[in-house]
Chain A
C-alpha cells in the first residue's frame, strides 16, 4: 500500500470539512477524488502532505506515519501539484523543475539532479522549453512544468489538485495520459482531485466520491459513477453511456 488514510477528521475553526475519511491507494494505481465544490477534496490532499494538520486520524505513506516524518523526508516520498500555481518572480522551466530536487540537495546541484530534471522534462515532452520563462508559457505547458517538478522529486505517491481544470482538451488528455503511464511504469501511485467525471472515469483505476466531507462511495468507475450516486451527491440528473468506461452526460440540476 503506497498511501493509507485512517479515520481522518479535519475542520476549519468549528466547521467540519472531513469526517472519518478512510481510504487507500495501491501501488500502480491512479485514484480520482471526485465530489462537488466544498466536499473536501483539496483539504484531504493537504492533510496528506502536511500543509494542513488533521484533527484526528492517521496518514501513512509507504507504511510510515507522516506525523513522524520530517518535511524533507516526506518530500522524497510525496509529490504535489497544487490547484493554483503562484509565482511573483521570473523563473525558467529548468530551474522550476530543479526545485523538485530540493529534498535531495544541500547546496550544489549534482550531475544526477540535472539528469533527473532533464529526463523529467523529456518525459513531459517539454525539453525544448527548458530555458523559457514560466510566465511566457501557455496554461497547458505550465501545468506540465509543475507536474515535472513533482515527478523530479522521484515520489512514491503523487498528489494532484485539479490538474486539468485550466487546460484545453488535448492538454487534458496528454497530462492525464502521462500521469497514468508514469504511475504504471514506475509502480508508484497517484491521487487526483478532479471535477471532470468523464476524465476521472477514463483515466482512473478507482474513484472515491466525497460528499460533505465523507466518503459516499468508492470503487471502480462503473460502480461509483451511477445515476443515483450523482443525483444524490451532485444534485444533477444524468444519463450514463456504459461502453467500457462510463460516459456521463449531464441533463438537469434537481432540487
Chain B
C-alpha cells in the first residue's frame, strides 16, 4: 500500500512526542544527583554520584566518604525518591481523572482523598483514634482507610446517579464538604498542640516517608499503573468523543470510569497517607504535558508522570535551599512558583486550549 503523506506525518509527530518524553526523563535523571547535592551541608554532584554508585554497585571500586553516604542515602536520596514517586503518581492520576471525567478542572483529589485523609489524620492526632493501634503507622493507616472510605462512597453514590462525570463531581463536592465539616469540628475542639500537628500534616511533605514506605507506595503504583495504561484508548474515546461516542466505538464508559477512579483512589490514598496533602501537581502536570504533546492518553500518562516528578523534586530542593536548615513544605513552594509559570504557559499559547 502506498503510504499517504498524512500517515507519514503522523508517524513523525508520534516520534516527536516520544522524544519529548525521553528528554524529560533525561532531565529527571540529571535532576536526581543535582538536587541531592543541595541542602544545609553542601555536597558536590560528584560526591552524590559516587555515594549512589558505591552503594548500588559495592564491587565497582568507587569510593565514597561516610558523611556523603549517610547524607545521601539516609536523607536526601530518600526525599528525592519520595518526591519522584509522589509527583509521578499524582500527575498520572490527575491525567486519568481529567480524561475519565472529561473535565480539565478535576484532580486526583476529586475522588475525595484529601478530605478523607485529613479526617483520618485528624482523628488519629486529635482523638487518638486509629484503625491501627499504635506504632508509626498510627496516622498513616487511618488517613489511608478514611481516604478509601470517602473515595468508595463517592464512586458508589456516583454510580447510583448514572455514572456520569457530573454525578461524580457533584457527589464528590457534597461528601468533601461533609467530611471537611467533621474535620473542622474536630479542629475547633482540639488543643493547640494537636492543631499544629494537624496543620503540619496537611501542609504535605515528602520527607516523612521511610525507604520501606517508599517501596510500599511504589509497589501499589506498579500494580495499578498497567491497568490505567490499558485504559488509554478508552480514555481517548471518552475524553474526545463523550460517552455516547465511546459506546459506539466499543467502550463501556461506566465501567472504565469506575475502574479507573478506584485505581486513582488507591494510588492517591497511598501517596497522601505518607505525604499529607500535596496539591497542584495532580492538576497542573497533566495540563503542561497536554500543552506540549497533546491529549492522546498513551503519551499523556507517561509524559505527565515525568513532568510531575520533575515538579515535586524541584519544589523539594528549592524548599530545602531557601532558608536552611528550615524546610519549606513542598506544596507551598510548588504552588507559588508553579502557579505563575502555568499562567504564563496558558497566556503564551495562542491557540485556544480547550472548549
Give residues in A with beta carbon < 8 Å to B.
46, 49-51, 70-76, 78-80, 82, 85-92, 94-96, 98-100, 102-103, 105, 107, 109, 111-112, 114-115, 117-119, 121-122, 127, 130-131, 133, 135-136, 149-150, 153
- A75-B242 in contact (CB<8A): no
Give residues in B with beta carbon < 8 Å to A.
1, 3-7, 9-11, 13-14, 98-99, 102-104, 232-234, 236-237, 239-242, 244-245, 247-252, 290, 294-296, 298, 351-355
Overall SS of chain B's interface: helix
Of the candidates A49, A99, A115, the one whose C-beta lies within 8 Å of that of B241 is A99
- B247-A87 in contact (CB<8A): no
| Centre residue among B4, B234, B242, B294 by max chain A CB count within 10 A | B4
Known: A51-B248, A80-B248, A118-B6. A90 touches B13 (CB 8 A): no
- A46-B244 in contact (CB<8A): yes
CA–CA, A70 to B249, complex, Å? 11
- A131-B353 in contact (CB<8A): no
- B290-A89 in contact (CB<8A): yes
Q: Please indicate the chain B residues that have their CB under 8 angstroms from the CB of A51 in the complex.
A: 244, 247-248
- A49-B7 in contact (CB<8A): no
Chain A, Cβ-Cβ closest to B4: A118
Q: Please indicate the chain A residues that have their CB under 8 angstroms from the CB of B239 in the complex.
A: 88-89
Chain A, Cβ-Cβ closest to B13: A131
- A121-B6 in contact (CB<8A): yes
CA–CA, A75 to B99, complex, Å? 21
Q: How many A-B residue pairs have CB under 8 A?
A: 131
16 residue pairs bridging A and B, Cβ less than 8 Å apart: A70-B250, A73-B250, A85-B242, A87-B242, A88-B239, A98-B10, A102-B249, A107-B233, A109-B14, A115-B1, A117-B7, A118-B6, A119-B4, A127-B5, A130-B10, A131-B9
Of the candidates A102, A114, A133, A135, the one whose C-beta lies within 8 Å of that of B7 is A114
Q: Please indicate the chain B residues that have their CB under 8 angstroms from the CB of A121 in the complex.
A: 6
Q: Please indicate the chain B residues that have their CB under 8 angstroms from the CB of A99 in the complex.
A: 236-237, 240-241, 249
10 tightest CB-CB pairs across the interface, nearest first? Answer: A75-B250, A80-B248, A72-B250, A118-B4, A130-B6, A86-B242, A114-B7, A118-B7, A103-B250, A89-B295
Of the candidates B98, B103, B240, B245, the one whose C-beta lies within 8 Å of that of A95 is B240
- A87-B355 in contact (CB<8A): yes
| Centre residue among A91, A135, A150 by max chain B CB count within 10 A | A91
CA–CA, A89 to B96, complex, Å? 13
CA–CA, A146 to B7, complex, Å? 18
CA–CA, A6 to B245, complex, Å? 24
- A89-B354 in contact (CB<8A): yes
Of the candidates A72, A86, A122, the one whose C-beta lies within 8 Å of that of B4 is A122
Chain B, Cβ-Cβ closest to A161: B244
CA–CA, A211 to B186, complex, Å? 61
Q: Please indicate the chain A residues that have their CB under 8 angstroms from the CB of B248 in the complex.
A: 49, 51, 75, 78-80, 82, 150
B165 → chain A closest CB, angstroms: 9
CA–CA, A118 to B3, complex, Å? 9
Known: A50-B247, A130-B6. A88 touches B104 (CB 8 A): yes
- B294-A127 in contact (CB<8A): no
CA–CA, A88 to B351, complex, Å? 14
CA–CA, A102 to B103, complex, Å? 22
Of the candidates B1, B11, B104, B245, the one whose C-beta lies within 8 Å of that of A82 is B245
Of the candidates B103, B236, B242, B351, the one whose C-beta lies within 8 Å of that of A133 is B351
- B252-A87 in contact (CB<8A): no
Of the candidates A76, A115, A149, the one whose C-beta lies within 8 Å of that of B3 is A115
- B233-A102 in contact (CB<8A): yes
- A89-B1 in contact (CB<8A): no
Q: Please indicate the chain A residues that have their CB under 8 angstroms from the CB of B245 in the complex.
A: 80, 82, 85
- A89-B104 in contact (CB<8A): yes
Q: Please indicate the chain B residues that have their CB under 8 angstroms from the CB of A117 in the complex.
A: 7, 10
CA–CA, A40 to B344, complex, Å? 49
Chain B, Cβ-Cβ closest to A127: B6
CA–CA, A111 to B355, complex, Å? 31
Q: Please indicate the chain B residues that have their CB under 8 angstroms from the CB of A50 in the complex.
A: 247
- B250-A91 in contact (CB<8A): no
CA–CA, A99 to B9, complex, Å? 17
A59 → chain B closest CB, angstroms: 14
- B352-A135 in contact (CB<8A): yes
Q: Please indicate the chain A residues that have their CB under 8 angstroms from the CB of B6 in the complex.
A: 94, 118, 121, 127, 130-131
Q: Please indicate the chain A residues that have their CB under 8 angstroms from the CB of B103 in the complex.
A: 88
Q: Please indicate the chain A residues that have their CB under 8 angstroms from the CB of B241 in the complex.
A: 85-87, 99, 149
- A94-B10 in contact (CB<8A): yes
| Centre residue among B234, B247, B248 by max chain A CB count within 10 A | B248
Q: Please indicate the chain B residues that have their CB under 8 angstroms from the CB of A130 in the complex.
A: 6, 9-10
- A86-B102 in contact (CB<8A): yes
